[in-house]
Amino acid sequence: MTYRVQKGFVYLVGAGPGDPGLLSIKAKSILEQADVVIYDNLVNQKVLNWLKPEARSIFVGKSSGQHSIPQAEINALLIEEAQNDVSIVRLKGGDPLVFGRAGEEVDALDSEGIHYEIVPGITAAIACAAYAGIQISQRDISSSIIFLTGHENPEKTSLNLDFKEFAKSNSTLCIYMGIGQLKRIVGELLEGGLKQDTPVAIVENGTYVKQRSCFSTLGQIIPDSEAMEIKSPAIVFVGNVVKSRSQYNWFEEKPLFGKKILVPRPRKQAGELSQLLENYGADVLEVPFIEIEEDYDRDSITNVFTDIASYEWIVFTSANGVDLFFDLLDKAYEDVRSIGLSQIATVGKATARAVRSHKLKVSLIPETANSNALAEALIEHQTLDNVKILLVTGDKNSDILFKRLQDEGRAIVDRLPLYKNVRTDLSKNENFERFKEEGADLVLFTSSSTVHNYISATQSLELSDSIKPKFGSIGVKTSESLRKHNLPVAFESPKANLENFVVETLSYFRNPNQ
Ligand code: SAH
């Protein structure tokens, strides 16, 4: 479902508590079309990846060491941008109207006659309870839920609540912004009549893979949360439902929960592996050490395309090559049938999937995903004597394949390089910054080239032993590259595909010392 956004409109959108899967379909659709996005601290920046490339994003939250921007300035910015006749998203953590000061922004827009829409989001209390396994209401235990704020509002303009009043309510109390005020809150709840053994839980960074929860009682929560060094953002839950925490802590007990895994792949290719790992709760750091850049010679394209149907085989060595090839073919002929009866071979399953997405059949995929195996499979498949083969590649890794098909197979091989790998500027890459500071549990290498790129970008880093990563390899060739550079292989996937690689990663973490 797509919602059309309008120019000169402001969309006050709830970004949910953190997990990007918790935004509404409407919120995502609006973000994808927005011209300007004004966002603050609690928004998970991953959702900004959905913006169109030309969209502007403006951060108005509090960054480390700086004060947050006063509300009046944010209101003025919204009005100014709206007058530029663009579509503006004011993106706020959780629900925009729950302790989010969106009310003041709405008033400012009203006073200027600017039109807006409000898109609710999942508020932190609801999400944190669910992700910590707290049944926020339960028929026999608590039939009311109260959202409260501890008011550690940076501008300290609001009055503090008196928590004594809520001690008698027999409700589930969900306290936002309560960490800085915890002693006072706990004191008032006890004074108000709640017992020392009333169950309390604090959920920090709820729904993020760094979520932590501290389950305790009113009498013990101060030392317990201090021992865990619980910090904001966190929700404090008070009430008997906290005790009913389900046995199965579904989120924090995911098999890769909180494991920091570096995926050193170009952005477009990293997605599938990252998604698989994130499903298991991993904290994935995608670092595109290299990016794919289109790079081809127009004359060679013309030569190859003029005779495209004369190739008996078209061989692809990467999904990037596939997508670029079919884009160019479409521009030239507007008809995929122009490849005639050429058969298609790919180096591995991911490349085959890319071909399948163009509704074409792949006739040959070798057992093991590498150039040698592909050459062997083709040579075994049929005599290649004088058979015309088109090899669609990047600027690297096609030499072996080219030579073997030509020399051993005696085929007539034309190479069509379509892209090159370029080093990425990582100076502003947040994930790489995190890696430099925090290290990682594991780096997952999906090819020899990812090994080379990783090494050249990290050789001058000096990570302390406690945060040095271990290395997982997708297959034999990748492991060889790792060993060649004296990087010990912690585990190797028996089959060179992503699904198997993830299965191996899971068993590695179950038993890391094997
Ligand atoms: N509009 C937001 C709340 C803003 S007030 C919402 O609806 O969720 C900011 C407070 O929200 C934080 O101090 C914290 O108490 C809570 N909060 C927001 N995101 C959180 C998260 N991911 N985990 C725990 N608490 C969170």
pLDDT tens-digit map of 409-460: 899 999 999 998 888 888 888 899 999 999 999 999 998 888 988 998 898 8
Is the pLDDT at 245 greater than 70, yes or no?
Answer: no
Q: Provide the 8-state DSSP code for 68.
A: P
> Between β-strands 260-263 and 56-59, what pairing exists: parallel, antiparallel or unpaired?
unpaired
Q: What is the 3-state composition of the chain as percent helix, strand, coil, each rounded to the nearest 5?
A: 40, 20, 40
Is the pLDDT at 158 greater than 60, yes or no?
Answer: no
Q: Which atom of ligand 1 is nearest to the CA of 96?
A: 1
The pLDDT of residue 98:
95
Q: CA 8, CA 23: separation in Å to the nearest integer?
A: 23
pTM for the predicted model, two decimal places: 0.80
The pLDDT of residue 101:
83
Asked if residue 17 has its Cβ within 6 Å of ligand 1, the reply is yes
Helices (H), 228-315: 267-279, 298-306
Cα 111 to the center of its chain, rounded Å: 38
pLDDT digit string (tens) for 68-87?
788 899 999 999 999 888 99
Strand pairing partners for 442? 261, 470
Confidence of residue 514 (pLDDT cuts 50, 70, 90): low
Percent of the chain with pLDDT over 90: 72
Helices (H), 4-101: 25-33, 71-82
Q: CA 31, CA 15: separation in Å to the nearest integer?
A: 10
Q: CA 364, CA 381: separation in Å to the nearest integer?
A: 9
- C-beta of residue 246 within 8 angstroms of C-beta of residue 185: no
What does 228-297 look like in DSSP terms, one character per residue?
TT--SSEEEEESGGGGG--SS-TTTTSTTTT-EEEE-S-HHHHHHHHHHHHHTT-EEEE--SEEEEE---
| Distance from residue 61's CA to the centre of ligand 1 (Å) | 14
Confidence of residue 203 (pLDDT cuts 50, 70, 90): very high
Q: CA 118, CA 139: separation in Å to the nearest integer?
A: 32
Q: CA 335, CA 107: separation in Å to the nearest integer?
A: 55
Q: CA 70, CA 80: separation in Å to the nearest integer?
A: 16
Give all domains of the chain, ordered by start, each with its CATH number: 10-122 (3.40.1010.10), 126-243 (3.30.950.10), 260-289+430-510 (3.40.50.10090), 292-422 (3.40.50.10090)
Q: How many CA atoms lie within 13 A of 411 on its CB side?
A: 29
Q: CA 188, CA 89: separation in Å to the nearest integer?
A: 39
The pLDDT of residue 244:
62
Confidence of residue 364 (pLDDT cuts 50, 70, 90): very high
Q: CA 104, CA 478: separation in Å to the nearest integer?
A: 56
Tell me the CA distances in angstroms from 375 to 14, 350, 363, 481, one per residue in order: 52, 18, 14, 20
Q: Which atom of ligand 1 is nearest to the CA of 207?
A: 22
Q: CA 423, CA 321: separation in Å to the nearest integer?
A: 18
The pLDDT of residue 153:
55
| Distance from residue 120's CA to the centre of ligand 1 (Å) | 14
Asked if residue 394 has its Cβ within 6 Å of ligand 1, the reply is no
Is the pLDDT at 155 greater than 60, yes or no?
Answer: no
| Distance from residue 502's CA to the centre of ligand 1 (Å) | 32
**Where in the sequence numbering do the catalytic residues fall?**
40, 62, 177
pLDDT digit string (tens) for 260-296?
999 998 766 777 899 899 999 999 999 988 888 899 9
- C-beta of residue 36 within 8 angstroms of C-beta of residue 88: yes
Q: What angle do CA 191, 196, 201 make, to 5 degrees?
A: 105
Q: Which atom of ligand 1 is nearest to the CA of 178?
A: 15
| Distance from residue 16's CA to the centre of ligand 1 (Å) | 9
Shortest-distance Cα residue to atom 2 of ligand 1: 94
| Distance from residue 430's CA to the centre of ligand 1 (Å) | 22
The answer to whether the peptide bond before residue 233 is cis (omega within 30 degrees of 0) is: yes
Sign of CA dihedral 66, 67, 71, 72: negative
**In a mutational test of the pocket of ligand 1, which residue from 106, 131, 176 has the highest number of ligand atoms less than 8 Å from its CB?**
176
Q: Is 150 left (phi over 0), alpha (psi -120 to 50) or beta?
A: alpha
- Both tokens assigned to 476: 């034999």
